[in-house]
Amino acid sequence: MNHWGHKHVIDLSTFSIEDYSLVLTLANRFKKVPVTGAGRLPALQGKLITTLFFESSTRTRSSFEIAAKRLSADVQSFSANTSSLNKGESYLDTALTYVAMGADVLVVRHSSTNIPQKLASYLDNIGEKTSILNGGDGLHSHPSQGLLDLFTLANFFSPNDPSTESLKGKQVTIVGDILHSRVARSNLWSLTACGANVVLCGPPSLVPKEFIDFVKRPPSGQKLDPIKKRGTLKISRNLKQSLEDADAIMTLRLQKERMQENLLSSMETYHDEYGLTLEKLKWCKNKVPVLHPGPVNRGLEISGDILEDRSICLIEKQVSNGVPIRMALLYLLGNQ
Ligand code: CP
């Protein structure tokens, strides 16, 4: 079918440029598939996709479920709040229960880093064929979000041919709570792989200087970086400077629930220095799009006037592009 060689999708650090191209090409085709009825594709007929979300989600979980249905898969949705986790069952035994029910792909979200990786290794060791698709783990990785952001930017820069090439040489400024963001980490791998130059902007408490080395070497346990030459990565403390040459801006939610100590003097100061407003977007040389993975703290990292300006704000497009991107991932994992 293609060169695809991943049984599981855990982290975009393992993606080659051919992997990105394949996912974008498939997503572009799936974008045109009708929502309901006979228009559904039979690609995953007879397959069972289980969304195993141990942490809350609106966008990711729902769009994986829509994506699976559009490919004619059976969908099993797990609700942590009403599950036997409340009786002390472990995440591993919970996952194995769904494997025993025949899940072909488990989409796993967990608040702890590396749970999807541990599950994947466990299943490989016992010879189970079930694939793990990371729906977001701790601070580590959110690969489907990184891919849908890439697809959204590729569509913005090159609507007729949204390929990896369309990102080459573009400056993407990512503003805000990088420290707690698995989305930012996944975007760092995907954007630099496609030749985009990334500027991370925020205070030292949320953008530690160590991030400068983030894509210099693959994570521990991974021998090689499949990308020969990545785009550059810089850190800026100055929002005005980091916006001047931006071709696109991504702002991130302040993850107050993950902030264990007082990392900011106040939310008001943060908003004044790093919160995006239409007024501050005038610092950009060109009219540039603004992305945000959601959910949003309206009026904190991004103002309501940007959210309401569809000529600038791509958030709705990110959400709708999540479906074809997740169709592409489920198609690739479900057809092995
Ligand atoms: N962007 C994202 O992961 O949103 P949810 O938490 O709603 O899935």
Residues 22 and 2: beta-carbon distance below 8 Å: yes
Confirm whether pTM is higher than 0.85. yes
User: d(Cα 56, Cα 53) in Å, to the nearest integer?
Assistant: 7
Q: Ligand 1 centre and the CA of 215: distance in Å?
A: 24
2: its two tokens:
């293609």
- Predicted confidence at residue 37, as pLDDT, reads 66
User: What percent of the chain is predicted at pLDDT more than 70?
Assistant: 97
Q: What percent of the chain has pLDDT over 90?
A: 92
- Contact (CB, 8 A) for 41 and 334: no
Q: Is the CB of 59 under 6 A from ligand 1?
A: yes
Structure tokens at 125: 């060791």
Compute the distance between CA of residue 316 and CA of residue 314 in angstroms, rounded to an integer.
Answer: 6
Instruction: Give the Å distance between the CA of 223 and the centre of ligand 1.
Output: 30
136 CB within 6 A, ligand 1: yes
| Mean pLDDT score of the chain | 95
User: If pLDDT is split at 50, 70 and 90, which confidence band does 266 have?
Assistant: confident
Phi then psi for 289, rounded to 5 degrees?
Answer: -80, 155
Please tell me the distance between residue 1's alpha carbon and the centre of ligand 1 in angstroms.
31
**Res 259: pLDDT:** 73
Positive or negative CA dihedral for 177, 178, 180, 185?
positive
Residue 225 confidence (pLDDT): 97
DSSP-derived secondary structure letter, 9: B
CA distances from 320 to 32, 142, 162, 176, 187 (A): 12, 17, 15, 24, 18
Could you tell me the two tokens for 97?
């229960």
Map residue 139 onto helix, strand or coil: coil
d(C-alpha 264, C-alpha 107), whole Å: 34
Which residues fall within 8 angstroms of residue 1, CB to CB, at 6 or more apart? 335
* Nearest atom within ligand 1 for CA of residue 56: 6
Q: Does residue 293 line the site of ligand 1, with CB under 6 A?
A: yes
- Report how far ligand 1's centroid is from the alpha carbon of 57 (Å): 5
> Does position 258 have pLDDT exceeding 90, yes or no?
no
Interacting residues of 251 by C-beta distance below 8 A, sequence separation 6+: 174, 175, 176, 276, 290, 291, 292, 301, 302
Q: What is the pLDDT of residue 35?
A: 65
The 10 Å Cβ neighbour count of residue 329 is: 26
- Is residue 130 within 8 Å of residue 154, measured between CB atoms? no
Whether 60 lines ligand 1, by a CB cut-off of 6 Å, is: yes
Q: What is the number of the ligand 1 atom nearest to the C-alpha of 62? A: 8
Integer Cα distance of 314 and 289 in angstroms:
6
For residues 78 and 256, the model is more confident at: 78
From the CA of 39, how far away is ligand 1's center (Å)? 27
Q: How far is the CA of 61 from the centre of ligand 1 (A)?
A: 8
- Using a 6 Å cutoff on CB, does residue 322 contact ligand 1? no
Going by pLDDT thresholds of 50, 70 and 90, the confidence category of residue 336 is: confident
- Burial degree of 228 (CB within 10 A; 0-12, 13-18, 19+): exposed
Q: Which residues of 137-164 are buried (b: 16+ CB within 10 A; e: fewer)?
A: bbbbbbbbbbbbbbbbbbbbbeeeebbb
If you ran DSSP here, which 8-state letter would residue 88 be given?
A: T
Residue 256 alpha carbon to ligand 1 centre in Å: 15
Lay out the sheet containing 290-291: strands in order across.
233-236, 197-201, 171-175, 248-251, 290-291
In degrees, rounded to 5, the angle at the alpha carbon of residue 6 between the alpha carbons of residues 164 and 178 is: 60
**Interval 217-228 mean pLDDT:** 94
For ligand 1, the distance from its centroid to the CA atom of residue 287, given in whole angstroms, is: 27
Mean pLDDT of 145-160: 98
Take residue 137 and report the two structure tokens written for it: 């783990």
| pLDDT > 90? residue 288 | yes
CA distances from 233 to 155, 170, 214, 293 (A): 23, 12, 8, 20
118-135 confidence digits (pLDDT tens): 999 999 999 999 999 999
pLDDT at 1 > cutoff 60: no
pLDDT of residue 310: 95
- If one residue of 58, 111, 148 were mutated to test the ligand 1 pocket, choosing by the most ligand atoms within 8 A of its CB, it would be 58
Counting atoms of ligand 1 from 1, which one is nearest the CA of 60? 8
Which tens digits make up the pLDDT trace of 289-332? 999 999 999 999 999 999 999 999 999 999 999 999 999 999 99
* 82-83-86-92 Cα dihedral, nearest 10 degrees: -150
- Considering only CA atoms, which residue is closest to atom 6 of ligand 1? 57
